[in-house]
Amino acid sequence: MMTLVDIKEQLEKIDQQIIDLLEERVQICVGQNLEADEELEMLSLWLEESAEKGLDDAKTEKIGKLVIAMCRATPE
């Protein structure tokens, strides 16, 4: 059985991976201007994947929109 310390360590590792991936995504988007329909395609992917994994659609949509907005606001 996992202890609370083990759980915390695993969550911290996952959180660091999420931050690293967000940084990578933002760097890819620097100077790029995606069209609204391209952003909708990205959001659709988020929703399709989350549905397959049984994740909450509404929460996933909010996160997806925030990630897309984070990249949109990235200056060159």
The answer to pTM > 0.75 is yes
Q: Tell me the pLDDT tens digit for each residue of 14-44.
A: 999 999 999 999 999 998 888 999 999 999 9
For residue 75, the model assigns a pLDDT of 66
**Quick check: helix, strand or coil at residue 42?**
helix
Separation of alpha carbons 61 and 46, rounded Å:
7
* Res. 76: pLDDT tops 70: no
Q: How many CB atoms lie within 10 A of CB 64?
A: 19
Separation of alpha carbons 43 and 75, rounded Å:
21
Q: Tell me the pLDDT tens digit for each residue of 6-18.
A: 999 999 999 999 9
